[in-house]
Amino acid sequence: ETGVTQSPTHLIKTRGQQVTLRCSSQSGHNTVSWYQQALGQGPQFIFQYYREEENGRGNFPPRFSGLQFPNYSSELNVNALELDDSALYLCASSFTSYNEQFFGPGTRLTVL
């Protein structure tokens, strides 16, 4: 196990709702990245946080937002949920952005 935890493990929402996903990074890691993985696809980079500041963003709309806290845990918020947001959301922590990523088990989000 990596020491990265995510909650909840599963979530069902309806279109238009908002969701908050949480991630606790591995001890000593100050960088957290979030990914969206649709079924049968590779993880897609959403954004990365380094010491509480956003440090890079992928091709995701502004309704995907995040936070990193002083203890380096992190949140991913998604507003106005769409059906296509159904996916596995993975968070990964690392020492730096270029180091190996330690992934959590993911949150499976289903939007109906």
Binding residues vs another protein (CB under 8 A): 2, 33, 35, 41-45, 48, 50, 55-56, 58-59, 90, 92, 97-106
Pairing, β 87-94 against β 31-37: antiparallel
Nearer to another protein among residue 40 and residue 70 (C-beta): 40
Nearer to another protein among residue 19 and residue 92 (C-beta): 92
CB of 8 to another protein, least distance (A): 15
Nearer to another protein among residue 67 and residue 88 (C-beta): 88
Other residues' Cβ atoms within 10 Å of the Cβ of residue 81: 19
CB of 76 to another protein, least distance (A): 15
CA distance 21 to 110: 13
Residue 57 DSSP SS3: strand
Which of 81, 92, 93 lies closest to 35 in space, CA to CA?
92
